[in-house]
Amino acid sequence: MLNIHIMNFYHNTCHSVKSDFPTNDTNFQLILCYNIFASRGRIEMEKWTQKWHKNSNTRMIWIKRLRIAYGVLWNTALIALILFTAAAVFAGSAGAGYFASLVKNEEVLSYDDMKKDIHNYEETTEVYFANQELAGKLRTDLSRTKVKLEQISPHLVKAIVATEDEFFYQHNGVVPKAIFRALYQEFTNSSMQSGGSTLTQQLIKNQILTNEVSFDRKAKEILLALRLERFFKKDEILESYLNMAHFGRDNAGKNIAGAETAAQGIFGISAKDLSIAQAAFIAGLPQSPFAYTPYTNEGTLKKDLTPGISRMKIVLRRMLSEQVISMAEYESASSEDIAKQFKKPNKSSMNNKYPFLTDEIEKRAKLILMDYLADKDGYLPADLTRDRKLRDDYLALADRQLRQNGYRIYTTIDKDIYEAMQQAAKNYQDYGQIHPVQKKNPDTGKTETVQEPIELGAVLIENKSGKILSFVGGRDHERKQVNHATSTLRSIGSTMKPLLFYAPGMEEGFLQPGSYLADLPYEKIMNGKPYAPKNSGGVFHGLVSARTALAHSYNVPVVRGYEKLMSSKPLRYLYKMGITSIPEENNNFLALPLGGGGNVTVEENVNAYATFANGGKFIDGYLIESIEGTDGTVIYQHETAAEDVFSPQTAYLTIDMLRDVLSEGTGKRVPSLLQFNSDWAGKTGTTQDTHDSWFVASNPNITFGTWIGYDTPSSILTYHGKPYSRRNQEVWSSLINAAYAKKPDLIGPETPFKMPEGVAEFSYCTLSGSLPSDLCRQAGLVKSDLFNVKYAPETVDDSLKYGKYILQDGAAYEVPDSAPQDFVYEGPIINKELLDRFGLESPEDLYKYTKNLGRLVVYSGKRAGINGLRPSQLTGVSIDGSTLKWNESGSSDVLGYRVYMSSRGTGSYTKIASISASDGTGLTVSALPASYYVTAVDAEGKESPPSPVASTAKRPAAKKKASNYKNRNERIKNDGEPRAATGQDGEASGTIIQQ
């Protein structure tokens, strides 16, 4: 009973304190309550004690007990009160301290600053061509029409307040309950993060701060919301919000903001005329604008409108519960078929004349401003790279400033060339077939069939400055808002070869233009699977020079060479040229120099090729020359910097080799397509399964490259009888011709590339790259080419010597003692080390595929096969015109054939020729009447029985038929006919490889 009395007394005392001393300081009230309670408690207790003294001794006992109980209870209550007060003070102080730490660096905004920010929806940034002619204005993220609050339907105002902030007219900027709810969700890691934001806070977040979710941003938001509410009336805040809020898309597919734009874009009426149902639909959009909007980004109605309509009904229920509409109005609005009121889709054409240009400028300007703003605050670019959150903050701030601050951006784009290229790209008619692909609709989530055309990306760079003079971002911006020149990453195919193999190889001293590479069958195990690169058409070419291999874009010699070069880390050269998208671990990927294992943009590829034209210096390409504020202050000015990648000698030799691509290689059609002459050096490129086609070329002034392919990789098929590479070269030529028509001096300089000091022409032996020996000259293996004098040949070739050999099954063998002398040949012999130099295991491969060895043959490194049996009789002997023919011998050890002739009627036969089995089974014979038979001869000199006789009738003399075998008549030894050319000792000359 006493306890209850004490607690009631304490409650009444504290209640009176709150009434008598109204204050927002709860700590002060608690302390005051305690002091008064203690003072009044003693007075009351004295009154009770005096009253109880009048009673009996029994009462005195109870009084004593009461005093003891009171002391205990009083001390307990006092301790509890002190602890509660201390906890409250500590919590309040800690919370206040933490809050203060979060906002300590926040600048205190004045009334004018806040007014400017909440009404600063946008001040359009302008973009200018290089000649300072206006190119257009940057698109804002949103289409918006600003209106006054009185021009907005009361239904929409009520719907927004009821849905987004039911306490809007009661709070002072924040709702503590909502904040605590948000904190609870954050600390419990709830999947539902409401944020606890009022309309005022949302306005602060969108117009002054960023959209990130963090404690420091939320603390700043609270502080600014309280300050905003002090400065502005509720209607002013509401008006700003309704003009700021995002409402999804309109019927043209454009992003929209503001109540008026939403009403016009969705229902085709003014915001002041919205019905309750229409207002509820629009009020439901800000929570998730693109999920609830009825339109796709292409301006078409979504197939499923359920999310937006369901959200509208939630808004209506909120309006009913907040008593801003009656039950009758609720039921009427809920029953409306809102979908029938949506505007019909109307995919309007872009108002921007240069959408690819302005989109690209916006993207780049945002990054420049991000660095600029961070730098003003003392942050380095490395800080932004290291701290993703910091980078996101400054990127969002840069985005807002770009949309609102009205900058003037001056570009490097040449207007005349840019427009001419766009028109040329539009005029070309043979891009290729439309390709159907299955894609998921981002709005509906359903898979749909989309018709994809072949796309185009092109970039033109001025070599000496890095200025991007022009580009073609795609064929139709309305169809695809992706810049295929600067953003699309694709494999670059064979255009990688000079960048990663030939130029690095020359820089490292691994090869020179005249170095010979092995284009022979090759197989390696990669990732547990065999990898065997092939050339186009599956053809091998034996030993070929680096110059020839590059001109004709052979794959196999590049892979063979790269395997030896990869230890020098050639990928580092790519990094220096701005191609950084390929991870370092791909350095040892054998297909990398063929374009496998890494994707780049057209801009990156063209920029890298300009390095060769710049004498080996990489100058990063750029589009933005400068950025000015509205007051004319220059806040950004581009500064060109050059980085050494290759020596001038390597750069020039690469250019010289790339000239051959256009003169005799895979790009030889290009000069005939051009309307002007210039010193061009370029490279074609094709990727796996012909998904991409490239062509990049430089002259002393500019570098220009094009790419064609489908957005969803698929084979580019022949179209109108034109293969993919021809069509891309036609596109390239059409665009550069259009540019030349506008700026001939810039695009078509008459001065060629200048050869630097340190490059000279040397003769060399093609087998070794060394200075030619007499034997090399005798074998016809001497050529001349340009060399970096640092790596010019100094020693004389030692890969050849003189020797004898026999031929069996197309290969050369040691000469056994029993070998018939008419099948023994003598001439230059290739040392066995040549095979090791090219990593060859089979000399037969070299002989089989190499077309440029002159009179050389290849030694097998073995003794000739001998089976000990006499060769069997030949069959199929006949005369066809002036050619004597017979079937190949079935014996395995046959060296060749002897041909015998008898003049008509004499009956006596004379050997007239010895023919190597490698030279075939035929001989041109006289037109005079005669009879012939043929025998086969093996390595032991054993001769087959004579074949059946074939005779010629009397007929006019016929011309000799050209042999199908290279130099075959040099290995035919005649007895009754003129003899072939011979070497020493009357032996037919030739060359073998000796073990």
pLDDT tens for each residue of 717-742: 889 989 999 999 999 999 999 999 99
Residue closest to 227 by CA, chosen among 117, 137, 94, 152: 117
Describe the crossing of helices 276-283 and 306-321 by its angle, rounded to 10 degrees: 110
Residue closest to 768 by CA, chosen among 858, 847, 835, 856: 835
User: Which residue is it, tokens 């028509």?
Assistant: 741
Cα 928 from Cα 925, distance rounded (Å): 9
Kind and range of the H or E run holding 41: helix 26-53
| Three-state secondary structure readout of 318-349 | HHHHCCCCCHHHHHHHHCCCHHHHCCCCCCCC
Residues 764 and 514: beta-carbon distance below 8 Å: yes
| Secondary structure (DSSP) of 830-882 | EETHHHHHTT-S-HHHHHHH-S--TTB--EEEEEPP--SSPPPPP---EEETT
| C-beta neighbour count of 452 within 10 angstroms | 17
What pLDDT is stored for residue 32 in this prediction? 40
Residues 731 and 405: beta-carbon distance below 8 Å: no
Which stretches in the chain have pLDDT values below 70? 1-109, 111, 116, 120-123, 139-142, 178-196, 210-218, 347-351, 443, 810-811, 842-845, 847, 851-862, 905-906, 953-995
Task: Assign 144 to helix, strand or coil.
Answer: strand
Task: Assign 780 to helix, strand or coil.
Answer: coil
| CA angle (401, 407, 408) in 5-degree steps | 155
How do residues 274-327 score in pLDDT, each as one tens digit?
A: 999 999 999 999 998 989 999 998 789 999 999 999 999 999 999 999 999 999
Kind and range of the H or E run holding 72: helix 57-103
Cα 583 from Cα 575, distance rounded (Å): 10
Residues 835 and 843: beta-carbon distance below 8 Å: yes
* Residues 78, 79, 81, 82, CA torsion sign: positive
Residue closest to 518 by CA, chosen among 209, 951, 288, 849: 849
CATH architecture of 489-622+646-747: 3-Layer(aba) Sandwich (3.40)
Written as one letter, the residue type at 632 is G
| C-beta neighbour count of 925 within 10 angstroms | 22
Cα 621 from Cα 606, distance rounded (Å): 9
Burial 532-571 (b: 16+ CB within 10 A, else e): ebebeeeebbbbbbbbbbbbbbbbbbbbbbbeebbebebb
Q: Which residues does 571 contact at the CB level (< 8 Å), separation at least 6?
A: 500, 582, 584, 586, 587, 592
What are the φ and ψ backbone dihedral angles of 840, each rounded to 5 degrees? -100, 140
Residues 935 and 944: beta-carbon distance below 8 Å: yes
Kind and range of the H or E run holding 813: strand 811-814
Cα 267 from Cα 813, distance rounded (Å): 92
Q: Which residues does 752 contact at the CB level (< 8 Å), separation at least 6?
A: 679, 700
What pLDDT is stored for residue 348 in this prediction? 53
Q: What is the dihedral of CA 258, 263, 269, 275, to 10 degrees?
A: -120
User: Which residue is it, tokens 């698929």?
Assistant: 714
H-only helix segments in 428-499: 496-497
Residues 609 and 588: beta-carbon distance below 8 Å: no
Cα 177 from Cα 975, distance rounded (Å): 117
Q: Which residues does 337 contact at the CB level (< 8 Å), separation at least 6?
A: none
Residues 314 and 157: beta-carbon distance below 8 Å: no
Residues 896 and 860: beta-carbon distance below 8 Å: no
Kind and range of the H or E run holding 470: strand 468-472
Strand partners, 807: 812
Strand partners, 626: 410, 637
Max CA-CA distance within the chain? 179
Q: What is the dihedral of CA 705, 710, 715, 717, to 10 degrees?
A: -80
Cα 834 from Cα 840, distance rounded (Å): 8
Strand partners, 644: 617
Task: Assign 774 to helix, strand or coil.
Answer: helix
Residue closest to 573 by CA, chosen among 513, 637, 630, 647: 647
Residues 454 and 728: beta-carbon distance below 8 Å: no
Q: Which residues does 354 contact at the CB level (< 8 Å), separation at least 6?
A: 127, 135, 136, 418
Residue closest to 186 by CA, chosen among 211, 224, 218: 218
Residue range 799-995 in CATH 2.60.40.10: yes
Residues 535 and 497: beta-carbon distance below 8 Å: no
Q: What is the dihedral of CA 564, 568, 572, 574, to 10 degrees?
A: -30
Residues 196 and 178: beta-carbon distance below 8 Å: yes
Proportion of the chain in helix, strand, coil states, percent, rounded to 5: 40, 20, 40
Cα 214 from Cα 388, distance rounded (Å): 14
Strand partners, 640: none
What pLDDT is stored for residue 96 in this prediction? 44
Residues 267 and 343: beta-carbon distance below 8 Å: yes
CATH number of 142-341: 1.10.3810.10
Kind and range of the H or E run holding 505: helix 503-507
- In the sheet that holds 634-637, the strands lie side by side as 134-137, 126-128, 408-411, 624-628, 634-637
Cα 561 from Cα 501, distance rounded (Å): 8
